[in-house]
Amino acid sequence: MAKIWGDKRYNSLNYYLRQKFKDKVFKISLDAGFSCPNRDGTLSRGGCIFCSERGSGDFTGKSRNLVKQFYEVKEMMNKKWKSGKYIAYFQAYTNTYAPVDVLREKYYSILSLEDVVGIAIATRPDCLQDDVLNLLSEINQKTYLWVELGLQTINEKTAEVINRGYGLETYIKAVNELKKRGIEVVTHVIFGLIGENKKDMINTVEFVANTKTQGIKIHLLHLMKGTRLVDYYNRGELRFLSFDEYVDLVTDSINILPEDMVIHRLTGDSPRELLIGPMWSLKKWEVLNEIDRRLKEKDIWQGKGYAENYEISKLFI
Ligand code: SF4
């Protein structure tokens, strides 16, 4: 018998949050005005080659005042759904890249708002110094917290091509530091990076599957206007994954993830006016429906094909 979470063959964030909070929970994407060491010249000026001008925060509110920005996005959501609880998602740029007092002020200004039940912080593994980790640990005692790490791939060659700016051992260390403090970790991976084949992408998923962390976000590589990736595309060095290939990759990934790992995302999102390709990715519901259909067809579900890889899992506490 297939294992089912609600109406899915995988443990989606939606399902997980509803079980945990007994209510609909919305994520409010925020741009807290941080920068990124990979963009401000500390590591590089170019940033990751796929990163958009808004630091991967294309769906955040516009107001510079963080609390106002929160309400701006919340109001938009309330047009569709009248009530619920909220997780403040510090999404744009690197959300632990500032003096710890600044971070404290920003995080707490949002935490005190009504119906905010948690906070999600997206960052780079090389931006988690001890004082930041201690602040995160403190916040973790007060509310529901998870930290998102942009890994994208475990392939060091690809990491160089995309100008990620840190090595795999930095990710491993960051995961262990967060785990030591009982903080939940969600890892981002991207399918369709330059030069990667199916085996590379599945290897990355297998690695994440063995971290014994709480979540994963799977993105499709989007080519967006204004990114450095456009040069690669114009030189013919970037091939888009097809709809079919992507669904195949995602369903095979779901199969090998442990069943308690929460799947935060199975598609990417990018604003229509910025997207150059693949254009099929705009049909998000078609992608998700096809994933459901294909899981049934292959008769697989999350965890069915999971097997611990001791070489990988011994790297993590
Ligand atoms: S780490 Fe994030 S914000 Fe910084 S360049 Fe890469 S994708 Fe953009």
pLDDT value of residue 57: 60
> Where residue 249 falls among pLDDT bands split at 50, 70, 90?
very high
- Angstrom distances, CA of residue 82 to CA of 74, 124, 217: 10, 34, 27
29, 93, 229: residue to mutate for ligand 1 pocket, most atoms within 8 A of CB: 93
Count of other CB atoms within 10 angstroms of residue 314: 10
For ligand 1, say whether the CB of 93 is within 6 Å of any of its atoms: yes
> Where residue 52 falls among pLDDT bands split at 50, 70, 90?
confident
**Quick one: average pLDDT of 290-302?**
98
Q: For residues 54 and 234, which has the higher predicted lDDT (pLDDT)?
A: 234
pLDDT value of residue 79: 85
- Expressed in angstroms and rounded, the spacing between residue 83 Cα and the centre of ligand 1 is 33
Residues 6+ apart with CB under 8 A from 7: none
Give the position, in ligand 1's atom list, of the atom nearest the Cα of 50.
Answer: 7
> Where residue 301 falls among pLDDT bands split at 50, 70, 90?
very high
For ligand 1, say whether the CB of 222 is within 6 Å of any of its atoms: no
pLDDT value of residue 123: 98
Out of 37-41, 71-75, 148-152, least confident range: 71-75
Virtual CA dihedral for 226, 275, 69, 174, nearest 10 degrees?
Answer: -80
pLDDT value of residue 56: 63
Out of 11-20, 47-56, 297-306, least confident range: 47-56
Residue 211 and residue 311 in contact, taking contact as beta carbons nearer than 8 Å: no
CA-CA distance, 88 to 110, in Å (whole number)?
A: 7
pTM over 0.85: yes
31, 39, 171: residue to mutate for ligand 1 pocket, most atoms within 8 A of CB: 39
Residue with the nearest Cα to atom 7 of ligand 1?
Answer: 51
- Expressed in angstroms and rounded, the spacing between residue 303 Cα and the centre of ligand 1 is 31
Q: Which domains, from first to last, does the chain contain?
A: 13-313 (3.20.20)
pLDDT over 70 at 58, yes or no: no
**Quick one: average pLDDT of 165-190?**
98
Residue with the nearest Cα to atom 6 of ligand 1?
Answer: 48
CA-CA distance, 193 to 241, in Å (whole number)?
A: 9
pLDDT value of residue 81: 80
